[in-house]
Each structure stands twice: as C-alpha cells, then as structure tokens.
Amino acid sequence: MASPIDELYQAVFGSVPTKAGAAFERLAAIATYVTTEDGSITHDTSLRGAHSGSRYQIDVLHQCAEKKTMGEAKDYSDRGGKVGRPDLQKLAGALLDLPSVDKGVFWSATDYTKPARQYAQAAKAMNGKEILLRGLRESTHLDEQGFVKTIRVTGTYHIAELHKAIWTVHWSAQGRASLLSLISDDKKTAEISEVLEDFFDSNGGKITSIFELTSGGYGNIGEDEVSRGCYWLPGHYIRANGILASICGLEYEIPYASHTESFEITDNSTYRLVVLDETGAPVRILTDEKLREFAFDTQGQLVIPTHR
C-alpha cells in the first residue's frame, strides 16, 4: 500500500519509484541540498566497510568539500510508527565501519521515540561521530506560520511632466547685445522662435544637448512636487533667429505627477513539505514548485537547477 509520502511524490512528479521507500529517500536528498546549498548529493549508492568488507547501502550521500555525510531515510507514515533506537543503532554501526564518512543524518517522515532521541544525543560521545535527527513530512497550517507566502509591494512613482516644464535661458552680456541687434529701428521688440535642443561653441560646433544634460535626471523633487535646478554653461551658444548668442546658463522648473500602485507576489504552491530540526521545529518549507526544480540522473546524482 502506498504511503502518504508516496502519494505526495506522485502528485508532485507524476510517478513513484518502484523501489519501496525510494520516494522518501529522494525527497530527503532534495531536502539535504536545499538546507545546505553546498556539495553534491547522491541517492541510493553504496560504500564498502573498511573493517567488515561488506557494502552499505546509502540512502543519501552528501559530499561537501573534504567532509562526507551519510543520510538514512525512513518512511513509516503508512503505519504511523516512529523511528526507534534500533534504527539509530544500525546507522551508528555503519558509521563505525566507514572511516571516510564524518557524520550521519537521519531523515524521518514521522517522529522519533524518546530512546532514539537519547541515543542520537549520545552518539558522538559513544562512537565519535554525531547523528543529526531531521524530520520531513507534509506541512500543516501551523507549520507554515512564520514563513512568507505573500509579498505586497507598494511603490510611489514620480513622473516628470515635461510638457509643463519652464526653461529659462540666462544670457551673457554678449548674448544680450547679439539679440538686441535683431531689433530694427522701427520696432521695440524682436520675436525669437527656436526649438532649444543643442548648445554650440562660438564657431557653431555642437558641444552638448538638452538630452545629454538631463540624462542623469532633474535632481531632487521639492515638497511642492517640483524639481528645480540650473546648468552653468559659460562659453555655450544657442541659435536665435539665425545668429549664435552666448549664454551663462539654463534654469528649469519641472512639475511631477505622483502615482501610487501596489501588487502582490503570492506563493500558491501546493503539496508542501516541511523540514524539521532535531527539536521538531520547522526550519524550511519545500513547495511543489521547488521540488520539481530537481531531478536525478541514472547514477542517482541529484541534478541541481542552474537558475538558483
């Protein structure tokens, strides 16, 4: 009969390994990487004992730098049983015969008996290698409290209303004299109609433009939602009615329109798994989407997603 873990694995991946317990072992391999994010993970491999010469089947082998961890995974969820001390003793015996393995991690889909927890706590003192207890089961509403499921982002956007901008040219004395020369003897004013885009040197060579000057923005926005500033431009000229008139600088006032918008990023994933530490406290939630990022090659090697 399929266990609840097998049914969850089927729902997430669409199929279940034929070997009994392999579904939970693979989930434990994924949880091992997700909670450490380092090294390589292999499911269902074997190591030969240095003293006995026998081969030990390893549910989860975690190779990280110079350290190697042996993981044992037991799914007793089909009968509701707990992992007992004999399970821990079996793991401890293998650790004694495998000098290349530094420690053990036990993954359970249910809980641990009190003698099992006591044995794990004393394992390093007895055998020289620690055994860490981990839980891995379907999460409940209580497990998910404290984990972020929805992120709400509220942003206020200030948009420059350039069509309402006021640009004021500050002419040099030479520039004013050049403009005054445009006024005929029978008139008191001269109408200047130009599109201000570029600035030139005295020979008409382009120096810069409005676009280049404002490419870094218009500065800070005041409390009245207007940005004010000026550009000091000695030695610059603009075209006015066919002549080049020198300026000292250019002043501006640009009003802004403010808009506030909100959006939410919600995790609607289902079939969640929770990783529990040795005290039974939730430390990580694994969603169906996260689980599906991983796969195993034909050698049992965990294939890590490239977009982490």
Res 97: pLDDT: 97
Instruction: Identify the H or E element spanning 168.
Output: strand 166-171
67-74 and 103-108 beta bridge pairing: parallel
Res 67: pLDDT: 92
Q: Is the pLDDT of residue 245 over 60?
A: yes
Q: Is the pLDDT of residue 246 over 70?
A: yes
Res 147: pLDDT: 64
Structure tokens at 95: 């650790």
C-beta separation of 237 from 246 below 8 A: yes
Give, as one character, the DSSP assignment of residue 187.
-
Q: Is the pLDDT of residue 142 over 80?
A: no
What is the three-class DSSP state of 156? strand
188 — pLDDT class (breaks 50, 70, 90): confident
CA–CA dist 71, 26 (Å, integer): 11
Other beta carbons within 10 angstroms of residue 38's beta carbon come to: 11
Structure tokens at 43: 């499911």
1 — pLDDT class (breaks 50, 70, 90): low
271 — pLDDT class (breaks 50, 70, 90): low
Beta-carbon contacts of 1 under 8 Å, excluding residues fewer than 6 positions away, are 78
CA–CA dist 302, 101 (Å, integer): 19
CA–CA dist 93, 54 (Å, integer): 12
Res 308: pLDDT: 55
Going from the C-alpha of 4 to that of each of 26, 172, 214, 273, 285, the distances in angstroms are 15, 84, 63, 12, 17
CA–CA dist 152, 212 (Å, integer): 37
Confidence (pTM)? 0.63
φ and ψ at 172, to 5 degrees? -80, 170
Selected residue with higher pLDDT from 193 and 59: 59
Res 268: pLDDT: 65
Structure tokens at 85: 């001390």
- Where do the domains of the chain lie, and which CATH numbers do they carry? 4-149+268-303 (3.40.1350.10), 155-262 (no CATH)
Mean pLDDT of the chain: 91
265 — pLDDT class (breaks 50, 70, 90): confident
267 — pLDDT class (breaks 50, 70, 90): low
Q: Is the pLDDT of residue 100 over 70?
A: yes
243-266 and 150-160 beta bridge pairing: antiparallel
The residues pairing with 259 across neighbouring beta strands, listed in sequence order, are: 157
Dihedral, CA atoms, 179, 184, 189, 191, nearest 10 degrees? -70
Q: pLDDT tens, 38-84?
A: 899 999 999 999 999 999 999 999 998 889 999 999 999 988 899 99
